[in-house]
Chains A and B, each alone.
Chain A
Amino acid sequence: MLGLDADRLRADLNRLLAFLFHQGILDEQYLQLQQLQDESSPNFVSEVVNIYFHESEKLLRNLRSLLMDREFSDYDKMGIHLNQFIGSSSSIGAKRVRNVCVAFRAASDQNNRAGCLRALELLEHEYCILKNKLHELFQIEQQRLLAAGVRYPMLN
Chain B
Amino acid sequence: MTFARYTERTAFERPLTSGVAYAVRVLHSEREQFEKHQGWTIKRMDTLEKNPVHKDDYNPDLFEPSPIQEEYAPVIFAQDIISHVISIDLLSGKEDRENVLRARKSGKGVLTAPFPLLKTNRLGVILTFAVYKRDLPSNATPNERIQATNGYLGGVFDVESLVEKLLQQLASKQKILVNVLDTTNQSYPVSMYGSNASDDGLELVSHLNFGDPFRKHEMRCRFKQKPPWPWLAITTSIGILVIALLVGHIFHATVNRIAKVEDDCHKMMELKKQAEAADVAKSQFLATVSHEIRTPMNGVLGMLHMLMDTDLDVTQLDYVRTAQASGKALVALINEVLDQAKIESGKLELEEVQFDLRAVLDDVLSLFSGKAQDKGVELAVFISDRVPEMLIGDPGRFRQIITNLMGNSIKFTEKGHIHVTVHLVEEVIDSIEVETEFSSNNTLSGFPVADRRQSWKGFRTFSQEGSIHPFSDSINIIVSVEDTGEGIPIEAQSRVFTPFMQVGPSISRTHGGTGIGLSISKCLVNLMKGEIGFVSIPKIGSTFTFTAVFTSGSSSSKEYKSQQINNQTNSVSSEFRGKRALVVDPRSVRAKVSRYHIQRLGIHVEVVSDWKQGLSSISRGSSAFNMVLIEQEVWDQDLNGSAHFIDNLEKIAITTPKVFLLSNSISSSRANTTTSGVCNLTVIPKPLRASMLAASLQRAMGDGNKGNPRNGEVPSLSLRNLLLGRKILIVDDNNVNLKVAAGALRKYGADVVSASRGMEAIELLTPPHRFDACFMDIQMPEMDGYVSRVAFRTSLYNSDSEIEFEATRRIRDSEQNINDRIHFGELSVETYNNISNWHVPILAMTADVIQATHEACLRCGMDGYVSKPFEAEQLYREVSRFFH
A contacts, CB < 8 Å to B: 11, 14, 17-18, 21, 27-29, 31-33, 35-38, 40-41, 44, 47-48, 51-52, 54-55, 76-77, 79-80, 83-84, 86-88, 90-92, 95, 102, 105
Contacts and interface: CB of A to CB of B under 8 A. Distances in A.
Contact of B800 (A32, A83, A90, A102): A83
B296 A102 contact: no
A47 B746 CA distance: 15
B736 A83 contact: no
B736 A91 contact: yes
A51 B739 contact: yes
Contacts of B301: 28
A90 B740 CA distance: 11
Given A14-B310, A83-B779, A29 B739 contact: no
Contact of B734 (A21, A31, A44, A88): A88
B883 to A, nearest CB: 21
Interface of B: 295-296, 298-299, 301-303, 306, 310, 733-737, 739-740, 743-744, 746-747, 779, 781-782, 795-798, 800, 847, 868-869
Main secondary structure of the interface of A (DSSP, over half): helix
Given A88-B734, A91-B734, A47 B739 contact: yes
Contacts of A32: 869
Contact of B740 (A36, A77, A79, A80): A36
Contacts of B747: 35-36, 38
Most buried by A among B298, B734, B779, B868: B734
Given A55-B736, A87-B847, A28 B798 contact: no
A88 B737 contact: yes
Nearest to B749: A40
A61 to B, nearest CB: 16
Nearest to B795: A76
Given A76-B798, A80-B797, A31 B735 contact: no
Contact of B743 (A27, A41, A87): A41
Contacts of B781: 79, 83, 86, 105
B743 A36 contact: yes
Given A18-B303, A55-B734, A91-B734, 6 more contacts: A27-B296, A36-B744, A51-B735, A80-B797, A84-B734, A87-B734
A138 to B, nearest CB: 16
A28 B743 contact: no
A18 B299 CA distance: 9
Contact of B306 (A14, A76, A83): A14
A75 to B, nearest CB: 9
Contacts of A52: 736
Nearest to B868: A91
A44 B779 CA distance: 23
25 contacts: A17-B303, A18-B303, A21-B302, A28-B295, A28-B299, A32-B869, A33-B740, A35-B747, A36-B744, A36-B747, A37-B743, A41-B743, A51-B736, A52-B736, A54-B735, A76-B797, A79-B781, A79-B797, A83-B779, A84-B734, A87-B736, A88-B735, A91-B734, A91-B737, A105-B781
A33 B740 CA distance: 7
Given A36-B744, A40-B746, A88-B737, A21 B299 contact: yes
Contacts of B740: 33, 36, 48, 91-92
A51 B739 CA distance: 8
Task: Return the 9 tightest CB-CB contacts between A and B, nearest first.
Answer: A88-B736, A28-B298, A76-B797, A36-B743, A52-B736, A87-B734, A91-B737, A31-B302, A91-B740
A20 to B, nearest CB: 10
Contacts of A44: 743
Contacts of B736: 48, 51-52, 55, 87-88, 91-92
Contacts of A80: 797-798, 800
Most buried by A among B296, B739, B744: B739
A27 B746 contact: no
Nearest to B781: A83
Contacts of B739: 47-48, 51
Contacts of A33: 740, 743
A41 B752 CA distance: 13
Given A21-B299, A79-B798, A29 B869 contact: yes
Most buried by B among A32, A41, A47, A87: A87
Nearest to A82: B781
A152 B779 CA distance: 44
A83 B798 contact: yes
Nearest to A45: B743
A33 B298 CA distance: 14
Contacts of A28: 295, 298-299, 301-302
Nearest to A18: B303
Given A40-B746, A91-B736, A27 B295 contact: yes
Nearest to A85: B734
A79 B795 CA distance: 11
Contacts of A86: 781-782
Contacts of A90: 847
A28 B306 CA distance: 12
A21 B847 CA distance: 21
Contacts of B782: 86, 102, 105
A37 B299 CA distance: 18
A40 B748 CA distance: 11
Nearest to A94: B736
A55 B747 CA distance: 24
Given A14-B306, A83-B798, A27 B299 contact: yes
Contacts of B795: 76
A81 B296 CA distance: 26
Contacts of B737: 87-88, 91
A80 B206 CA distance: 107
